[in-house]
Amino acid sequence: MEKSKIAEELRPFFDPAAVAIIGATDKKGKVGNVIFENFRTNKERGIFRGNIYPVNPKLDEIEGYRCYHNIKEVPDDVELAVISIPAKFVPATMKDIAEKGIKAVIIITGGFGELGEEGKRMEREIYEIARANGIRVIGPNCVGVYVPDTGIDTVFLPDEKMDRPKSGPIAFVTQSGAFAAAMLDWAAGAGIGIGKMVSYGNKLDVDDADLMEYFIHDDEIKVVTFYIEGVKDGRKFIEAARRITQVKPVIALKSGRTEYGAKAASSHTGSLAGADRIYDAVFKQTGIIRAEDFEHMFDMAKAFAKCKLPKGDRIGIITDGGGAGVMASDAVAKFGLKMAELSEETLKFLKENFPPHAVAGNPTDVVGDTDAQRYKVAIEAFVNDPNVDAIVIITLFQVPLLDEMELIDILSEYAKKSDKPIVAVAMGGKKTEHYAGILEDRGVPVYPTPERGVRAMAGLVQYARYLGRRKE
Amino acid sequence: MKEEALKIIEDVLAQGRKSLVEFEAKEILKAYGLPVPNEKLAKTLEEALRYAEEIGYPVVLKLMSPQILHKSDARVVLLNIKNPEELKEKWEEIHENARKYRPDAEILGVLVAPMLKVGREIIIGVTEDPQFGHALMFGLGGIFVEILKDVTFRIIPIEEKDAWKMLREIKGYPILAGARGEPPADMKAIVDLMLKVSKLIDDLRDYIKEMDLNPVFVYPEGEGAVIVDARIILK
């Protein structure tokens, strides 16, 4: 029952049949103009399939679209309203929206609770209207929602200033609008696909827990990433987190590692319990994987998006450079994983099929004169070895005899057919980046250093362990 | 369990206090089946002498006063009292120390307790987070908690597997597992303690704000654990 309720309540934010843009304008660079243009161009491209209704009391038409003076004048049903008008007009507009029967509202406008008492009062008024009329609200003071598949894009930073990422199975949720914009731009550059982005700003209504509940049932999304500044309702957060982590991984980056506990506490325990330690506890108990930083978060997200979950923590490493193999082995120990002990059969198979100067073992070093077929021998052996749970393959594409595309074919084929997770590490410059991009498009996550590749794998192991424990 | 605990809490609140003295805290712990020593609160010297006989010498005296929460600072914990003569002397001394430390101290009585065999020290505590509610803390006592802050938390209620994970994830775990030829500590007793504290707080979360069980002595496997000192702070 709960399932269909939250899924249906939040659906219009991600796939509305019609959107009203309240505060749409033809003045270039204004927030209301960028948002309108985002929808208009996405409609022209055939990505956004709903109707668009600009609303502005001073305009009759924008770019060939009829502009309505009030939302109530729009003749057809509207599923989503995006508001970018000054804060003082928002409460009255909310009443109109309620009368019009719209159930989903994104308030981009800032200048509410973050600025003081009057803003807080307006927020309460908006909240009361929303509650009384069954309206769900994202924002205020946010950049809203970005969904590349359905053409929803309320991010008011224009295309020429901020690249938009392609679609993918990663959801990203953040309070901060600036962080959302920077992250989208970065993800676009890094080739990371984002299926849904939500920036909820002041979190008047829709919060982390609601979004977790929604993503439980969202088949497009395989992994959910959160940048968390603070949680309002801890119990609700814990319950939602426990539910979603049964179904898909959640990664959180928590800012504000400063301690607040010491001042208020009169017990020893209280003085030791900073906010950071409490969040650590919450994440551990709910199976949320904590990221150390932004890079760590998306390194793991990429692995979850592309890899199967490992059955254990025994890592096999294949490399064509000895040094990189040692770095990866160090990382295995550092991140609490184990080096797999290869079976006798594997070692025998490798020795039979390797030239004498290649190293059979863990790491297995195919050495600098390798070709793609020698990699294939090693991967085949590791995939079939019951002592290996997960495989890290280091490919220094620079070695002379290696046919890059042949190796990419082999890697992506094994990644697909093996039930073990495989991540690749490719260190190098522009040429390496080129091949790494192709390999990623073919479904294998690629990392620029052994340490980052192994750390991403450690995330998979951590989540697999959590699921294993829940089933006990 | 809950009724007994609530009665103590209501008594304390009725006296306008937020802090429970050790004796009161331990009564609540006892009501929830937590291991506290066989201690008795003596109001008079005669009672103290009788309890000491029952418990068996050597004994410990601890003076209970709502105004004296840091008992060692006030020197109102006197250890290793071997016979009735010594007890009579120490009875005078402990009251004098209390008067010197806080002339206005209201004295609820003197706890007569057995001298405990020293075990490995752990701390178990509870704090209340404004967003997530009560959290349970576990760590090794002494310098491990004071200086290294080697502690870990979970939100209450916890499950048994949380307790085992907490136990194993502190850096000092090898000390419990038996480093340097020591036998392993009674881990099951620690887990049991954590689960009982979790249950207690879950029941009394509307009343209790913070709790310190510090130290708790843990003995080798099969020999259990005992709460040496306890503090509870009400909301």
Q: Who among B133, B152, B212 is closest to A267 (CB)?
A: B212
Residue B155 sits at the chain A interface (C-beta within 8 Å)? yes
Q: Who among B128, B133, B152 is closest to A235 (CB)?
A: B133
Q: Is residue B9 part of a domain?
A: no
Are B205 and B131 members of one domain? yes
Distance of CA A64 to the CA centre of its chain: 36
What are B125's two structure tokens? 């505590």
Residue B119 sits at the chain A interface (C-beta within 8 Å)? no
Cβ-based neighbours of A86, under 8 Å, separated by 6 or more: A109, A111
Predicted pLDDT of residue B146:
80
For residue A472, which residues of chain B lie inside 8 Å, CB to CB? 161
Which domain-ending residue is among B115, B135, B154?
Answer: B115
The predicted-structure confidence for A225-270, as pLDDT tens digits, reads as follows 999 988 889 999 999 999 999 999 999 998 765 555 444 556 777 7
The predicted-structure confidence for B106-156, as pLDDT tens digits, reads as follows 999 999 999 999 999 999 999 999 899 999 999 998 888 888 889 999 999
For residue B166, which residues of chain A lie inside 8 Å, CB to CB? none
Name the residue range of residue B208's domain.
120-234
Are B125 and B111 members of one domain? no
CATH number at residue B64: 3.30.1490.20
Q: Determine contact, residues A170/A193, Cβ cutoff 8 Å.
A: yes
Q: Is residue B164 part of a domain?
A: yes
For chain A, give every domain's residue range: 308-471
Q: How many domains would you assign to chain B?
A: 2
Are B110 and B138 members of one domain? no
Predicted pLDDT of residue A262:
43
Are B198 and B133 members of one domain? yes
A308-471: what CATH class? alpha beta
Residue A9: pLDDT band (50, 70, 90) is very high
Closest CA of chain B from A407, distance in Å: 41
Are B157 and B216 members of one domain? yes
Q: Which of B185, B209, B211 is nearest to B196 (CA)?
A: B211
Are B108 and B124 members of one domain? no
Are B56 and B138 members of one domain? no
Taking 90 as the threshold, does the pLDDT of residue A163 lie above it?
yes
Q: Determine contact, residues B210/B217, Cβ cutoff 8 Å.
A: no
Which domain-ending residue is among B66, B99, B115?
Answer: B115
**Which residue in chain B is spatially nearest to A274 when comparing CA positions?**
B129
Report which residue type is found at A247.
V
Are B228 and B187 members of one domain? yes
Which domain-ending residue is among B80, B115, B150?
Answer: B115
Are B97 and B74 members of one domain? yes
Mutation site, A231, A267, A269, interface B, largest B CB count within 10 A: A269
* pTM of the predicted structure, to 2 decimals: 0.92
Give mean pLDDT, residues A393-400: 93
Are B152 and B131 members of one domain? yes
Residues 248-267 of A with CB under 8 A from B: 261, 265-267
How far is residue A73 from each of residues A92, A100, B18, B89, measured CA to CA in Å?
Answer: 15, 9, 61, 93
Whole-angstrom Cα distance, residue A203 to residue A207? 6
Closest CA of chain B from A274, distance in Å: 9
Output the DSSP codes for A338-400: EE----HHHHHHHHHHS-TTSB-SSSEE--TT--HHHHHHHHHHHHH-TT-SEEEEE--TTST
Give mean pLDDT, residues A126-135: 97
Are B86 and B179 members of one domain? no
Reported as half-sphere exposure (CB side, CA atoms, 13 A), residue A451 has a value of 5
Q: Quick check: helix, strand or coil at residue B210?
A: strand
For residue A231, which residues of chain B lie inside 8 Å, CB to CB? 131-132
Q: Is residue B30 part of a domain?
A: no
- From first CA to last CA, the distance across chain A in angstroms is 27
Query: CA angle A152-A154-A157, nearest 5°?
Result: 125
In what side-by-side order are the strands of the sheet with A104-107? A51-55, A18-22, A80-83, A104-107, A136-138
Reported as half-sphere exposure (CB side, CA atoms, 13 A), residue A256 has a value of 11
Q: Predicted ipTM? A: 0.89
